[in-house]
Structure 1
């Protein structure tokens, strides 16, 4: 049997293992996972009967293979979840789909609602052309924004930075209002220091022109409807108990098919000989040093760590390659879960929700007066994420930082108190007395960043491609800000190559580099 070793039990690693075992072609698959949880950044944290989604994961893709795969693992609901039932709304069904009231392994159909919080006012996300938008901006700012956008359509700047990328699509005024401060908050760098490649990958088709086109597309009948930009979609799928539920299910299926998943196993050495990976050295759950040999190796561990693990092998890593890998930057992430009795926010939409809470999945905090980047309202992702969604609201406050900085090193108590005070300052809650429970999670290397040595990423890719039996997959495996579906697609491509004996890796690295827009998200750092 061919021995396949996969580093990481996130979406890419689990997808690859499942696909190889499902092929039933004499592959023995072993996954080495550094942590004690399944799903990577797509995991669901369980705390005191509540569930937290790390970063938010909308299950939506233009890749038909991905969508079919999700449906195969977890069918789409046959009825809307119980919050709508209690409101007396007519039940919408998917033919043959299960009822989430009586079935756990099910995808819910959810409304996609997100808004921007800016200067204590709420704007649609992405920015819409509704009268409320212009009212919130005021006449003067609206005129300035319009003139600025018109100027950007005739006078394009060379896209040498993310700043120029945004200005070309939205004009300088809107860029200053809704992109500049938030981007710096997110990445810890001004947009002029960040490569335009990030925008080209994450914001491909989103622009004022796309918003207007979508608006008229919904009003005017057309027999030739084109695909909508992903940030403009109105619905998405979501597992009943969060994204981790799907990946835990996949892990169970992998074990049933004979695959092995070893938890708490940190890879620290990659042994190479004659242009191939021959084995991995790792520390197991008991702290014992182990070695595992293989015919094929798929890595979703951070490229920085992969190269560092290769440096003590006979095929020594060239100094310039090691330097590029060591300089690859990441942004780390902290989320504070708060259970509150109510939010001091008006629904403000015609979407009915249980308890008439605001229907947002996310609220983007553009104001630079607070460190908070985004508020997740877990009730609206799935009402099954908390025990009593009728009387409580379970929210996640998302902060972007660097591992080891002052915010990262805060105690749970200090961090929670800091987050609560920012909510009070913003007027989202009245006082700390509104908070019934809390939990903090810290996530390392959550977001691969596009600055520092990233400009030399092509050299690093060329070096890694020298190893015929090594496939780099997933977000961190490719140091690319991929969404969940793109990470899965890299696994599909790698598995296809293994099964067909193809050693060229271009199809694997080219996932999500096409110009057609897959997942426009402005500056939102979703791990979707």
Structure 2
């Protein structure tokens, strides 16, 4: 099935610029078994975790609800107050440390508020019960908690297709896009940005662009550095201390997966139906697995084969980052083979892509981030948008909203940035990682 069609929507078999409506399924892989994501209280969970562990989860959850944590300062406090000690230690503690490279006790609670939002055990259980009797087939699913959303819209050829289309529109309207360029200096006078200096891979000579408005998605750490020594010392200090987590994706092409679909819904070649699988196992570095066939089958040229995306979280310059492509492919294949999801002889091809500063971190000097925000918001014609641009762990949908709202603000002459910063703090709608 190549995705459902909206009643009057374009046919993906005939046109490329189309959004597919896809079913969302994410699961957790733990103890070499699959669990619902988020965890549901059902027979599969009881069987997988064991009755005694489930009793501990229930007991520690009730305990924290009867006697709540008074001061929720760290991410550890946030998780325990929301889910209880046993569930936190089973499903959140080690995985979050794998993602961030530091323990939950050292991460600000803001991250949980940003990513988990209104999800709780109670809501997960109620959703499980409700879904048996009532199915919300609308793509909006506005009454559904973010982590429980069942459907999503997805471009035929993946998210990159959207930005290629946007680039075409910009050029058609007379705009220009300078690729492979680095901003090295940002000049300002008083409370206004005047110009930015950049050099590109094709032209190392420094060039300047003037403008009336400047919209920044660059990492705030680099933005502060680019503004130079006129920036107050305290703001420079906070900017220099902001931290990030870097990311490596491994694409693997396989003849088939060892894991097979055991659900009631048939799939081509018994391919498991997951979009994402969270790898909870402690004996591998792998954090998450994507099955690209299940995002859009149009991204896979031969549907008898399987394209996987393996996701690793690391720090630029660490052991994982410094591996060669060949070394990393061998390492990643061994990990998947070890946990029983593939037979390594089924691997046909692979590639490694490294992306720095993928996740803005909620530690380092983050507790003083308000000092940076107050300073940068003071520039009348500078607007910060996106994940790195705001040092805010938004997903792509909310990053897009920050851009759209910024344009509305500029057109209407609004200089306050408050409504942009409020995106994904007031709304209850979020696709959770």
SS at match of 1:352: coil
Q: How far, CA to CA, are the matches of 1:352 and 1:277 in structure 2?
A: 57
- 1:338-392 alpha-carbon deviations (Å, 9 max, x no partner): 11111110212223222111001111011111000011111111111121012x1
- 1:418-437 alpha-carbon deviations (Å, 9 max, x no partner): 00110111011123x21100
Among 404, 408, 414, which residue is 1:492 paired with? 404
Q: How far, CA to CA, are the matches of 1:520 and 1:181 in structure 2?
A: 22
SS at match of 2:253: strand
> 1:517: which partner in 2?
428
User: How far does residue 250 in structure 1 lie from its aligned partner after superposition?
Assistant: 1.1
- 1:61-99 alpha-carbon deviations (Å, 9 max, x no partner): xxxxxxxxxxxxxxxxxxx51xx7xxxxxxx54211122
Among 255, 277, 300, which residue is 2:171 paired with? 255
- Residue ranges of structure 1 left out of the alignment (5+ in a row): 1-79, 85-91
Q: How far, CA to CA, are the matches of 1:424 and 1:436 in structure 2?
A: 14
Q: Describe how 1:59-98 pairs up with structure 2 within 5 A.
A: 80-81=1-2, 92-98=4-10
Q: How far, CA to CA, are the matches of 1:364 and 1:226 in structure 2?
A: 25
Q: How far, CA to CA, are the matches of 2:341 and 2:108 in structure 1?
A: 34
- 1:179-229 alpha-carbon deviations (Å, 9 max, x no partner): 000000000010011000000111111110110221233345699x97011
State the TM-score, normalizing by the size of structure 1.
0.79
Q: How far, CA to CA, are the matches of 1:222 and 1:114 in structure 2?
A: 18
> 2:270: which partner in 1?
356
Using CA pairs under 8 Å that are at least 6 residues apart, name the structure with larger relative contact order, 1 or 2: 1
Q: How far, CA to CA, are the matches of 2:142 and 2:160 in structure 1?
A: 32
Among 465, 488, 498, which residue is 2:377 paired with? 465
Among 99, 115, 125, which residue is 2:11 paired with? 99
> 2:418: which partner in 1?
506
User: How far does residue 258 in structure 1 lie from its aligned partner after superposition?
Assistant: 1.6
> 1:303: which partner in 2?
220
Q: Does the 8 Å CA contact 1:203/1:520 hold for their aligned counterparts?
A: no
Q: How far, CA to CA, are the matches of 2:135 and 2:346 in structure 1?
A: 49
Q: How far, CA to CA, are the matches of 2:168 and 2:96 in structure 1?
A: 39
Consecutive aligned runs of 4 or more in structure 1 exceeding 6 Å deviation:
none
Among 95, 108, 112, which residue is 2:20 paired with? 108
How many pairs were matched up?
Answer: 427
> Are 2:245 and 1:344 aligned?
no
Q: How far, CA to CA, are the matches of 1:146 and 1:458 in structure 2?
A: 38
SS at match of 2:321: coil
Which stretch of structure 1 is more off in the superposition, 404-413 or 342-351? 342-351
- 1:302-340 alpha-carbon deviations (Å, 9 max, x no partner): 00000000015xxx0111100101111110000111111
Q: How far, CA to CA, are the matches of 1:247 and 1:486 in structure 2?
A: 15
Q: Does the 8 Å CA contact 1:161/1:195 hold for their aligned counterparts?
A: yes
User: How far does residue 462 in structure 1 lie from its aligned partner after superposition?
Assistant: 0.4
SS at match of 1:451: strand
Q: Describe how 1:75-474 pairs up with structure 2 within 5 A.
A: 80-81=1-2, 92-157=4-69, 158-219=71-132, 227-284=143-200, 285-312=202-229, 316-390=230-304, 392-431=305-344, 433-474=345-386
- 1:491-511 alpha-carbon deviations (Å, 9 max, x no partner): 122112211222221112222
Q: 1:339 to 1:520 in 2, by over 3 A?
A: closer
Q: Does the 8 Å CA contact 2:149/2:431 hold for their aligned counterparts?
A: no
Q: Does the 8 Å CA contact 1:241/1:382 hold for their aligned counterparts?
A: yes
State the TM-score, normalizing by the size of structure 2.
0.95
- Residue ranges of structure 2 left out of the alignment (5+ in a row): none
CA RMSD of aligned residues (A): 1.6
Q: How far, CA to CA, are the matches of 2:220 and 2:286 in structure 1?
A: 29
Q: Does the 8 Å CA contact 1:300/1:473 hold for their aligned counterparts?
A: yes
Q: How far, CA to CA, are the matches of 1:226 and 1:266 in structure 2?
A: 40
Q: How far, CA to CA, are the matches of 1:97 and 1:275 in structure 2?
A: 47
SS at match of 2:194: strand
Q: Does the 8 Å CA contact 1:265/1:283 hold for their aligned counterparts?
A: yes
Q: How far, CA to CA, are the matches of 2:343 and 2:383 in structure 1?
A: 51
Q: How far, CA to CA, are the matches of 1:308 and 1:163 in structure 2?
A: 32
Q: How far, CA to CA, are the matches of 1:399 and 1:153 in structure 2?
A: 35
Q: 1:277 to 1:93 in 2, by over 3 A?
A: closer
